[in-house]
Structure 1
Amino acid sequence: MKEANKKNIGIDLFAGAGGLSLGAEMAGISMRYAVESDTHAAASYRKNFKEATVFCEDIRKLSTDGLKSEPVFIIMGGPPCQGFSLSNTKTRDMSNPNNRMFEEFVRFVHDIDPTWFVFENVYGLTKFKNGDENIQNHIEKRFRAIGYEVNSKILYASDYGVPQRRNRLFIVGNKNGIKFEFPDKFDYLVSVDEAIGDLPVLCNGETLMEGKYTISFEQATPYAQLMRKKSKAPTQNIVSRNRDYVIERYKYIGEGENWSSIPDHLMGNYADKKRCHSGIYKRLIGSKPSVVISNYRKSMLIHPHQDRGLSVREAARLQSFPDHFIFEGPVSYVQQQIGNAVPPLLAKAVMEKILSYK
């Protein structure tokens, strides 16, 4: 650990595989503790943050007493967000226990009293109400009540060097009375081809745990060079196997197109083709940032130039996880970890701005 970083102690709640933590470490924050109840995500976190202590348990049962051994600079985290997602039409109310997990985040901030906090969540939270009160406003008032100056904003990952059009709500607070300003947008976008164009050519269902880059480091794009900086070879080049009729459908879909380009005679198992979500069977556009990488296997996101789904490493690249970052668990759990993560480069931009106030 660098001497300059010793006072920048961080705690990650609802940490997942560690997207927020990785961005924080890139900026100069030392992650000391993480809380994550999913065993596979917690294993990924332990694999990549060897100096951090990981509590793999229900946060509601975890006391904050053991996390107060030294002053904490920042607490970060994204409480479970499925209940706030605009795609969730069944439990977008406070009867969903996941929608109350922000209470645990507030508890940790109140008890541990960090200098800063970063609360991250889906855009849908801005539209969510509990009775007549907007839940975002309620959360911000809770933080102000315990002594924090608060500011919030919807940030787009593609504005901060991430090759993906993903928007997330960030609520940032500090107890020093600082009126936090969010980082300025970058003056460039990173495309899908720039992000993954040097990764191995793969087939449907292929598993290549260690592959070879298709071009040299010097020939790679600046983004690919950033991803390859600490890696000699791309790992976890794993493509889920789709059935032959699914691959046949892919052949009819051009870049930027979706299921609507598939001939009707190949969609016989769909009762009503017109009711398909626009994000299903979406082929990425090589020259533009990706659409949102959520559960990319279930939505059947298609490689821009190959008739197959995305590999684990390609999806990780589109989320801005570097190639040395290893995910643990069965492939379906790994895919979900990637889809749930905060893009590290987006987190890095926010954390660097916070550190600029020191």
Structure 2
Amino acid sequence: MIGIDLFAGAGGLSLGALRAGVDVKYAVEVDPHACLTYRKNHPDTILIEKDISLVSADCFKDIQSKKDDLVIFGGPPCQGFSTSNQRNRSAENIKNWLFLEYMRLVEELDPKYVVFENVKGIFETEQKVFFNLIIENFKKLGFNVNYFILNAANYGVPQNRNRLFIIGAKTQTVMTKPPQSRGLVSVGDAIRDLPIVDNGNRICELPYATRANSKYAEIMRNNNNELCSNNLVSRNSTEIIERYSYIPQGGNWENIPKELMKNYKDVSRCHTAIYRRLTELEPSVTIGNYRKSMLIHPWKNRGLSVREAARLQSFPDEFHFYGSIGFQQQQVGNAVPPFLAEAVFLNLRNLV
């Protein structure tokens, strides 16, 4: 099976596809920082660094003869569909229409299979108009389609993260839900062995704190017992660190004394995910913009390091993120967990 990754980002979907045996020939991404990370980690994939509206079938030179084995996959930018983005969840948000570029390339390239990924909030935007359009377009192009909302935690990812997958094939095969695999992984099992770092750490490579003390950590380390990269942590002010100190595992901003939250115009309108401290014995909450939401380490009064967030997304330690700390955090938060992607592609390959 030959793959093309559209809206590739840092390459979480590509990594899962590769692990499932898909030969990812091409990827398309416009963000230069994500492109650098993608190139460094996927050296055998041809990356087209362009606005997708400028990409046509002619850019994929050796694909036409292999279209019977071709799968096009990707997740158009999803911030406009997210339930946490009430301001731009409408048809007026131009980014909500980028899926049409995905559809255009599917029509031009005529693959046998498609995998479309997005947030489940697409169901709740404009009375499902976007979701219905996507399904209708796939059917018009000859695909037998099915869709599922999958929780990454059911596929070995130490994170509760619900994602929509629309799977299509130009066969009569019924697209079924990927079977759950690997079992639940807790935050503690995922990050306990990682380097010990403090608020504002700027040292990228550091030694591991302990041996790999879980099966998950062993997989992430892949026999590496030396240094670990991407240990950068945002520097929070002393006021924010004080707020962290009041929050128990599983708690959030509601545990902070009101006199310490006076800079908020109306603190009662804070989202429940703001100032959330992770619980070590459970999978993490969703790793999105974890710096902005002030997601807190389970044991320390600080935010997560880039590597800790990457572990919670199921990126192996050998996968390096590039750019400034802000761009690294964005790449991790935007990515599809590779373990979840792997389960989807393995199931597709088994079905066909």
Q: Tell me the TM-score normalised to structure 1 length.
A: 0.94
**Correspondence 1:305-324 to 2 at 5 A:** 305-324=299-318
Residue 269 to residue 128, structure 1, CA distance change in 2 (3 Å): closer
1:148–1:177 Cα contact (<8 Å) kept: no
The Cα shift of 1:31 comes to 1.2
**Correspondence 1:172-251 to 2 at 5 A:** 172-186=167-181, 188-217=183-212, 220-229=213-222, 231=224, 232-251=226-245
The gaps in structure 1 that reach 5 residues or longer are 1-7
Residue 173 to residue 68, structure 1, CA distance change in 2 (3 Å): farther
Once residues 208 and 245 of structure 1 are traced to their aligned partners in structure 2, the CA distance between those partners, rounded to angstroms, is: 23
Matched, 1:18 2:3: no
Amino acid at match of 2:148: K
2:156–2:182 Cα contact (<8 Å) kept: no
Per the alignment, residue 3 of structure 1 pairs with none
Structure 1 window deviating more from structure 2 (94-103 vs 13-22): it is 94-103
Residue 279 to residue 116, structure 1, CA distance change in 2 (3 Å): same
Name the SS of the counterpart of 1:171 in structure 2: strand
Per the alignment, residue 5 of structure 1 pairs with none
Matched, 1:295 2:292: no
Per the alignment, residue 108 of structure 2 pairs with 111
Name the SS of the counterpart of 1:137 in structure 2: helix
Name the SS of the counterpart of 2:149 in structure 1: strand
- Point out 4+ residue stretches in structure 1 off by more than 3 angstroms: none
Matched, 1:76 2:80: no
1:230–1:324 Cα contact (<8 Å) kept: no
Once residues 198 and 322 of structure 1 are traced to their aligned partners in structure 2, the CA distance between those partners, rounded to angstroms, is: 13
Per the alignment, residue 327 of structure 1 pairs with 321
TM-superposition CA deviations, 1:4-37 (whole Å, max 9, x none): xxxx211100000001000001111111111111
Once residues 14 and 206 of structure 1 are traced to their aligned partners in structure 2, the CA distance between those partners, rounded to angstroms, is: 31
Once residues 96 and 239 of structure 1 are traced to their aligned partners in structure 2, the CA distance between those partners, rounded to angstroms, is: 32
RMSD: 1.4
Amino acid at match of 2:79: Q
The gaps in structure 2 that reach 5 residues or longer are none
2:71–2:115 Cα contact (<8 Å) kept: yes
The correspondence for 2:35, drawn from 28, 42, 50, is: 42
Residue 27 to residue 133, structure 1, CA distance change in 2 (3 Å): closer
Name the SS of the counterpart of 1:136 in structure 2: helix
TM-superposition CA deviations, 1:30-81 (whole Å, max 9, x none): 1111111111011110010001111111101111112151314211100011
Amino acid at match of 1:240: S
Matched, 1:33 2:30: no
2:122–2:128 Cα contact (<8 Å) kept: no
Once residues 200 and 183 of structure 1 are traced to their aligned partners in structure 2, the CA distance between those partners, rounded to angstroms, is: 34
Matched, 1:275 2:269: yes
How many pairs are equivalent?
347
- Bigger proportion of residues as helix: 2
In percent, how many aligned pairs have the same letter?
50
Once residues 302 and 90 of structure 1 are traced to their aligned partners in structure 2, the CA distance between those partners, rounded to angstroms, is: 26
The Cα shift of 1:239 comes to 0.7
TM-superposition CA deviations, 1:310-342 (whole Å, max 9, x none): 000000000000000011111101101111110
Once residues 72 and 160 of structure 2 are traced to their aligned partners in structure 1, the CA distance between those partners, rounded to angstroms, is: 26
Residue 119 to residue 213, structure 1, CA distance change in 2 (3 Å): same
The Cα shift of 1:90 comes to 2.5
Once residues 87 and 203 of structure 2 are traced to their aligned partners in structure 1, the CA distance between those partners, rounded to angstroms, is: 39
The Cα shift of 1:140 comes to 0.7
The Cα shift of 1:216 comes to 2.2
Residue 90 to residue 284, structure 1, CA distance change in 2 (3 Å): same
Per the alignment, residue 128 of structure 1 pairs with 125
Once residues 93 and 57 of structure 1 are traced to their aligned partners in structure 2, the CA distance between those partners, rounded to angstroms, is: 26
